[in-house]
Structure formats: structure tokens, C-alpha cells
Structure 1
Amino acid sequence: MKPANHPSLPSRKIGVLVANLGTPDNYDYWSMRRYLSEFLSDKRVIDYPAWKWQPLLQTIILTKRPFSSGAAYKSIWNHEANESPLLTITKNQTKALKQSLSDAFGDTVMVDFCMRYGNPSTQSKVDEMVAAGCDKILFFPLYPQYAGATSATANDAFFAALAKQVWQPAARTVPAYFDHPEYIEALAGSIRQAYDIMDRKPDILLASYHGMPERYLTQGDPYHCQCQKTTRLLREALGWDESQIMTTFQSKFGPEEWLKPATVEEVARQAQSGNKSIAVIAPAFSADCIETLEEINEEIKEAFVHAGGEGFTYIPCLNDDASHIAALTTIIQENLAGWVTK
């Protein structure tokens, strides 16, 4: 029995915290500068020595880039909710996951989301979960393929948040799920659905993944291999041959050699070689964001049309589609094994 002066404690719960890359609070200069400074100061993203990188970042890059990035965000902004599409979609995903996990486990599981950069921060959501009584937390970075600049840095922020807790909860992290059968089937289903309503089927589908410097591959990052395997598993699920789908990489930043082929160059090559109708899907993203809605569906589409292409179809991310939520729910349940029972 607790003494009369013992502090009150909430009932114990299990937390499920899903995480995505992040979003600026708005597309004005200072909101963009704060967001880009946090993002581009992450050593997992840009691993140059701080003495060399920070003066360049703070005096040159962050003087100009917030304007161009802000214009890009403005073109896709959810003006009705006054937030980025990534934030809107992540909220919808979290709401759906809350319902599916409530159906499975009742009120013993608390579900929320955080962003690696921007708001809501990982620290704030871990604090909330601990205060609500979560003595176990499952942390789920929503990146199908593992990369140091995505999965690892999200986990870094989670572990840093745990380090500040007086009563530290037990913790698990969800590993890469690029080869999970339900995830692959959800991707394949989205392609079938898109192709079924087309009058003219694309000559080829490009699976465009976020790029990274080639150097990271030689240093041991498995991302490139996991992207290639994702495309292969997707092709097998669709029953296609190798000529119908290929892997490309987008979003190059800086002067280094990055993974190839580059999506923006490949779409032009496809148009010039006679493939006038193409489709693009982005299997590395769990939710549509600036890299898909603006880069793929605007910049990369423009490069394709400029090179003579005629039909360009962007197949959206899985977002809060029911098949995606079902796949994520299964993955969460598998990683909660031993903590909860149905």
C-alpha cells in the first residue's frame, strides 16, 4: 500500500510512437530557415566537419535556400488546414492506426506521432507518453528501407529523448520493413489500381527512391541494396518482367557523386528513347511530401515533357490507404509481441 504522501501515478500503458521526417511550421522565410537549419545540421544527413560545413550553411545556403524551398512548399501547401501535406497525411495515418490498435488491444496502447525535424518533436511526444503512464514504447520510423539519414537519425532522436527521462520506459524500435509481404502487396495494389483506370498503359514504371551519396553505400549503409530488393519484390508481386520497371534515385544535394541513375535524367532518357508514356512511384516514402508532390509531380514531370514525353503519371504514396494501414498495423502487432496480447 502506498503511503499517503506518495505521488499519484497514471495507469500503465504501452506507447506506439510513429515518426516521419519532418515539416516546417510554414513556408515563410524564417520558418523555412529554422527547419532547414535543423535538418541540414544533422550529422547523419550532412556528415562534413562542423567547422567546414556550418559557416557555409549559415552564411550562404540558409540565406538563399529558404526562399526557393518556401516557394516549393507554398505550391503544395494544405492552405485549408495551414499545414504541409506530410503533416496532414501523418495525422490521418495516426488516427487510423489508433482505431485499428484500439480494436485489437483496447485502451492499453497509446498511439501518437512525431517528426524528426520540426513539430511535433520527438522529445515532446516521448515526454507526453511517459507522463501518460507509458512504461514501454515502440518507436516506429515510417521509412520502409533503412538509411542512416532517415531511420538511424530518427532513432537517435528517440534515444536522446529517453535519456532525459527520470523513469525511463522500456523501448523497442521497428526495423526496416521493405520486404514485408503486406507492404509489398499494398504497393502492388496501388499500381494495379492506377493502371486499371488508364486508357494508355505506361511504357515503363520508375520506382524513384530518395538518393544518397555513393560514399554511404561503400561505408556500409544498406539503403541502396534494400531499394533494389524492394523493386524486385514489387516486380515479382506484379508478375512483370525486368523491362517494365526500374530503380532510380532523386533529390541530389551537393557536389558529391550520388546513387544512379538519377530520376530527373532517366525520365528524359526514356522520353528520348521512345517511351513517351511513363509512371513514377516513390516506394521509400510512406506519405506524400515535398519530394513527391513538388519534385516528382512538378520538376521531374517537367523534365520528361521537355524531353518529348507525352504521358506522365505519378502514383501517390500509400498514405492512409486502408491496405497501408493494415500493413502498418500488422508490423506494429508483430513488434509488440510479448508486450500485449489480443
Structure 2
Amino acid sequence: MLDARPTATCPAHAPADHPKVTTEKVGVLLANLGTPDDYSYWPMRRYLSEFLSDKRVIDYPAWKWQPLLQLIILSKRPFASGEAYKSIWNHDKGESPLMTITKDQTAKMAESLTALYGDQVMVDFCMRYGNPSTKSKVEAMIAAGCRKILFVPLYPQYAGATSATANDAFFRALMEQTWQPAARTIEPYFDQPEYIDALARSVEEAYAKADKKPDILVCSYHGMPKRYLMQGDPYHCQCQKTTRLLRERLGWDESQITTTFQSVFGPEEWLRPYTVEHVAELAKQGKKNIAVIAPAFSADCIETLEEINEEIQESFIHAGGESFTYVPCLNDGAAHIAALTKVVQANLRGWLD
């Protein structure tokens, strides 16, 4: 990424045999969920095992969960998940769309931050699960001379299973360092005006291109067990506020937009309404033309390209729906990069001004 080549000099007034010290930089480390290295069985199994073994994602006791996960779930699920990944895979580059998009986002963020701060910053990305690992990128930044690191989980809304577990991996990487850099993490940016405006513009563009104007916009957020909400996780409330702010920015009334949750997993109740069920209900109620946007995802991935554009669309059409418009994630669009740059700028104050 941005100028990772360290320059090293001997400190002033130090003896001649003093080890050289790299020129100080500020690191900006973007973090996303992760991706398997390939869609074949063993890479899928490794990725799913790491993801589903995370106690913030599945908080059941290990003695109960791990035998079920390792002996039953991971004997079958890598095949089904692999087929889903294969259907969306970037075969030209040999990687998932999430990886391609995150690389593009990082390159554009590097350009944006270089324009502001010159060679004082180093921009890179890591994945919470899979490669490149958070640990490897923290080590690379420190080796390149980053004495301060801003960690940027690419999740607009905070959730323990996303933002917090990404931060955990960052802090664990710092624990292994002899000379730790100063460190910051960003607050969730779900209500930042630039982010809301970028969402609204993506909706306006999609509506302008749609063959039939959608009757309603479904804001589909990644789900989580309802129990997490009752334990104090703010994710549900932040999702609801994102939808409200988006509606206000678009100048719509409440009948034109709704909030749902997708990707339900396991037997317990998750946040409702479930997207896959709700879109079918909309079709039965006469909402024959709908649009779906995924505001919790910073980049298109398996949950948007396969789950929304295939499974959820199929549920809608099967129930009598006619026109389904998917509004892509903000990805590496100019408005998204500008919004993220604003967030990073605010969090670099005092380090770089």
C-alpha cells in the first residue's frame, strides 16, 4: 500500500553503534470481515472455522459448540458455502469480490490521505478472518516506522460481532509488540452526514436507472441474535437510526422505506423482521416493485451478491413480486471514499493536522 518502504537513520546524539531507527509515520489500517483464500473445501473450512469459533460471533460454551461445529457443521457447510462463493468469485483475479473491493478502497484512501498529509501516512488493510491477517499488517506497519496507528473497522454500525471483534484482533496484535505504537480506533460512523449522503445518492442513482420505480426501499442489515440486543449491544438501534436518517435525507415518508435483518443462523430468535420473509410479505401485500440496500456492508460480498441478489430476490419473485432492484454497496465510489476520509481526518486530529 502507500509507501511501505521504511527509511532508517541513527538517532541524533546517539553513539555510532546505535541501531538505526525507522522514520516515524502514522498508520491508517482499514479492516474488513474477511474472505476465504479459495472456494474449495479446505480453504472454506479454515475460514469458516476461524469465523464461527469467534466467541463474539457465537457465544455458546466451547464444550457444547466446538464438537457440533467441527464434527457436523464443518463437514458439510464448506461445500454449500463454497458453491455460493464460486457463483460470485472474481475468477480473473482469483479472489472474492470483497477482497477486490477492499484493495480498491485502500488504494483510493491512500490517494486521498496522501493529498492531505503527504508521506506522513501509510495506508493498508487487513481482514479479521483469513488473509491478510490483522497481526501481519500491524507488524508490517510497525516495521515501516508507524509509531501511531489508527484502526478503522469498515462497519458503519457498531456490533460486538463486527467492530468489537475486529478491535480485539488489533489489540491482541499490539500485545505481542515490544515497543507498542500509540493506537486509536474509530467510533461507528452510522450517523455521519457524509455517509448518509453517500447512501442517499446511491439510492437516487439506482432509482433513476430502474425500469420500474420501486414501491418501497428495504434496508437489509446483517442480523444477530435478539439476545445480544437485550444484553446491551447498540447495533439494532444504530441500524434503525441509519434508516431514519436516510429517509429524512431522501425526503420520504415512512411508507417508502423499511428496516429488516438478514443472514439468520442457528435455532434462536434473531432481530426481526427477517429480510427473506419480509420481502415475500411485501409482494403479497401488493408491493410488486422493491429495491434492497445493505447499509451495514461497506463492500459487496457473499451476503449481498449471493444472499440478497439470489436468495432474497428469489423469495420476493416466488411470492408474486415483479421487479427487484439491488442497490450496490458504496464500495470504492467517490462519495464513500470522501465520507471515509472525513472519518479518518477527524480521528487523526492531534496526530496529523
Q: TM-score, normalised by structure 2?
A: 0.96
Which runs of 5 or more structure 2 residues have no equivalent in the other structure?
Answer: 1-12
User: What amino acid does structure 1 have at the position aligned with 2:341?
Assistant: T
- Structure 2 partner of 1:50: 62
**In structure 1, which of residues 313, 321, 324 is the aligned counterpart of residue 333 of structure 2?**
321
Q: TM-score, normalised by structure 1?
A: 0.99
User: What amino acid does structure 2 have at the position aligned with 1:66?
Assistant: P
**In structure 2, which of residues 122, 130, 144 is the aligned counterpart of residue 118 of structure 1?**
130
- Structure 1 partner of 2:200: 188
User: What amino acid does structure 2 have at the position aligned with 1:150?
Assistant: T
Deviation of the 1:197 alpha carbon: 1.9
> Aligned equivalents of 1:209 and 1:215: distance in 2?
17
**In structure 2, which of residues 151, 167, 183 is the aligned counterpart of residue 171 of structure 1?**
183
In the alignment, structure 1 residue 245 sits paired with structure 2 residue 247? no
**In structure 2, which of residues 322, 337, 344 is the aligned counterpart of residue 310 of structure 1?**
322
Aligned to 2:22, what secondary structure does the other structure show? coil
- Structure 2 partner of 1:160: 172
User: What amino acid does structure 2 have at the position aligned with 1:99?
Assistant: E
- Structure 2 partner of 1:69: 81
**In structure 1, which of residues 22, 28, 36 is the aligned counterpart of residue 34 of structure 2?**
22
> Aligned equivalents of 2:215 and 2:328: distance in 1?
18
Deviations 1:283-342 (A, max 9, x none): 00000000000000011001111111110010000000000000000100000000002x
What count of residue pairs does the alignment treat as equivalent?
A: 341
> Aligned equivalents of 1:90 and 1:199: distance in 2?
30
> Aligned equivalents of 1:39 and 1:288: distance in 2?
18
Aligned 8 A contact 2:41 2:79 in 1: yes
RMSD, aligned CA: 0.5
Deviation of the 1:181 alpha carbon: 0.3
In the alignment, structure 1 residue 266 sits paired with structure 2 residue 278? yes
> Aligned equivalents of 1:196 and 1:71: distance in 2?
33
> Aligned equivalents of 2:268 and 2:19: distance in 1?
56
Aligned to 2:350, what secondary structure does the other structure show? coil
Deviations 1:8-47 (A, max 9, x none): 1110000000000000000000000000000000000000
Show structure 1 runs of 4+ deviating over 3 A: none
- Structure 2 partner of 1:147: 159
Deviation of the 1:196 alpha carbon: 1.2
- Structure 2 partner of 1:212: 224
**Identical aligned residues as a percent:** 75
User: What amino acid does structure 2 have at the position aligned with 1:325?
Assistant: I
In the alignment, structure 1 residue 285 sits paired with structure 2 residue 297? yes
Out of 4-13 and 143-152, give the one that drifted further.
Answer: 4-13
In the alignment, structure 1 residue 276 sits paired with structure 2 residue 293? no
- Structure 2 partner of 1:98: 110
- Structure 1 partner of 2:4: none
> Aligned equivalents of 1:199 and 1:42: distance in 2?
43
